[in-house]
Amino acid sequence: MSSHFRSYIWDPVLIVSQIILMQAIYYGFLGLWLAGVDGLVQTSRSLDQIFSYEVLGFSTTQGRLSMMGFILNSLTSALGLWFFIRRGKQCLDFTITVHFFHMIGCWIYNAHIPAALSWWLVNVACMALMAVIGEYLCMRTELRAIPVNTTPKSNL
């Protein structure tokens, strides 16, 4: 007889819906963070900030602020992992999936794979932050003590 505690049932609809939800969280909060950063320096907003690898750079103020938006987005995406995925061992999977689809989006937008070292560095750092923080938050929740009531339920 097998144990059913924390059993995992293959549910493709759940997995696909969680992927779509995490993509929505990723791009929604990235747009908000970039809009907030753009509001600080009064620059125009465009899809280039999200999908163009040439925008992310250490040499310009706009590039550094865009990097800051991506880093902050990793923190909010980690919260998304905590609220909606809730499994520590799935955080890395969903993080890589989100960033893989982002790379595909950048590839389509630019008509070639991103070639700037700064783009790769920022995305690898964001993947690491999102996965580690998301996994930490999920593991804290999973390892919470389960209260056991020692008093009898009825007086027999």
Spell out the residues 6+ positions from residue 4 whose beta carbon is closer than 8 angstroms to its own.
none
Spell out the residues 6+ positions from residue 61 whose beta carbon is closer than 8 angstroms to its own.
41
Q: Is the pLDDT of residue 155 over 90?
A: no
Q: Tell me the average pLDDT of the chain.
A: 88
The Cα 142–Cα 132 span in angstroms is: 15
**Residue 152: predicted pLDDT:** 64
Spell out the residues 6+ positions from residue 21 whose beta carbon is closer than 8 angstroms to its own.
80, 84
Question: In the predicted model, what is the mean pLDDT of residues 54-65?
Answer: 87
Question: In the predicted model, what is the mean pLDDT of residues 151-155?
Answer: 65
The tokens describing 10, both together, are 């293959």
Give yes or no for a contact between 23 and 73, defined as CB atoms under 8 angstroms apart.
no
Question: In the predicted model, what is the mean pLDDT of residues 103-115?
Answer: 94
Query: Reduced to 3 states, what is the DSSP secondary structure of residue 148?
Result: coil
Provide the residue ranges of all domains of the chain, joining segments of one domain with +: 14-141
Q: Is the pLDDT of residue 29 over 60?
A: yes
**Residue 15: predicted pLDDT:** 92
Closest CA to 84 of 28, 20, 4, 143: 20
Task: For the beta carbon of residue 90, count every other beta carbon within 10 angstroms.
Answer: 18
Which segment, 2-11, 98-107, 142-151, is predicted with the most confidence on average? 98-107
Q: Dihedral sign, CA of 17, 19, 21, 24?
A: negative
Give φ, ψ of 94 to 5 degrees: -70, -35
Question: In the predicted model, what is the mean pLDDT of residues 129-139?
Answer: 95
The Cα 10–Cα 149 span in angstroms is: 33
Which segment, 32-41, 74-83, 139-148, is predicted with the most confidence on average? 74-83
Q: Is the pLDDT of residue 1 over 50?
A: no
Q: Is the pLDDT of residue 72 over 50?
A: yes
What band does 127 get if pLDDT is binned at 50, 70 and 90? Answer: very high
